[in-house]
């Protein structure tokens, strides 16, 4: 199976985006390239990278986002696969606008599962399309940064880029 791949340089490192048709199916930082390839293999079996218009469009939107068009990613289609619960969490994450944050509890309430805070955290951590599905916008209930697969410094940068004032 062919998967369109594009790479872009960003202020927080090289980003690799993968598309299957018009939908983004993966996004990782290049320093997590092995994890990225494994995620795509689990999902698609044998796959081969190719270039294409869909990945180029996703890359262009990512460049726009990093150049301060904070709404540039909103229009991208995503297909993250995952369990029905994960997909509900990831869909809820996409409702958090740039410049805002939510807690794991906020997300749990938003999907109608107010006692599933820990499960929301696990789903958040398994997000295969970081930045576009904005798991970086989820912070601790006390306003502090919590884990991020790309590293807390990247999470801090993304939130500050979006205008979020963080507690120090």
- Residue ending a domain, choose from 44, 77, 110: 77
- What domain range includes position 133? 82-161
How many separate domains does the chain show?
2
Kindly state the percentage of the chain with pLDDT values over 70: 98
CATH code, 89: 1.10.10.10
| 138 vs 145: CA distance, rounded Å | 8
Of the candidates 12, 27, 98, 135, the residue annotated as catalytic is: 135
The answer to whether residues 23 and 65 belong to one domain is yes
Catalytic residue status for 135: yes
CATH, residue 60: 3.30.160.70
pLDDT, mean over the chain: 94
Please state at what angle helix 117-125 crosses helix 84-93, rounded to 10 degrees.
80
Give domain status of residue 166, yes or no: no
In three-state secondary structure terms, 18 is strand
Name the E strands within 36-163. 48-50, 77-78
Phi, psi of 93 (to 5 degrees): -60, -35
* Mean pLDDT, contiguous 10-residue spans, the chain (168 residues): 96 97 96 83 93 98 97 96 97 97 96 97 95 96 86 94 80
* pLDDT value at residue 167: 63
Distance CA 57, CA 76 (A): 9
Torsion 57-99-165-104 (CA) sign: negative
Contact 150, 157 (CB under 8 A): no
Are both 8 and 60 inside the same structural domain?
A: yes
Q: Give the CA distances from residue 40 to residues 36, 45, 52, 59, 111, in Å, rounded to whole numbers and listed in that order.
A: 6, 7, 17, 18, 27
């Amino acid at each position: 199976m062919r998967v369109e791949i594009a790479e872009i340089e960003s202020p927080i490192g090289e980003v690799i985006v993968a598309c299957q048709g018009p939908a983004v199916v993966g996004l990782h930082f290049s320093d997590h390239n092995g994890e990225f390839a494994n995620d795509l293999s689990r999902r698609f079996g044998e796959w081969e990278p190719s270039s294409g218009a869909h990945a180029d469009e996703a890359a262009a939107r990512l460049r726009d986002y990093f150049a301060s068009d904070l709404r540039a990613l909103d229009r991208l289609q995503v297909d993250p696969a995952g369990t029905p619960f994960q997909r509900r969490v990831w869909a809820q994450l996409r409702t958090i606008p740039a410049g805002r944050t939510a807690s794991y509890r906020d997300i749990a309430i938003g999907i109608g599962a107010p006692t599933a805070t820990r499960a929301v955290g696990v789903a958040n951590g398994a997000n295969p399309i970081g930045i576009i599905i904005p798991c970086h916008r989820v912070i601790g209930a006390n306003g502090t940064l919590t884990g991020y697969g790309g590293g807390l410094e990247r999470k801090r940068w993304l939130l500050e880029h979006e205008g979020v004032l963080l507690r120090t």
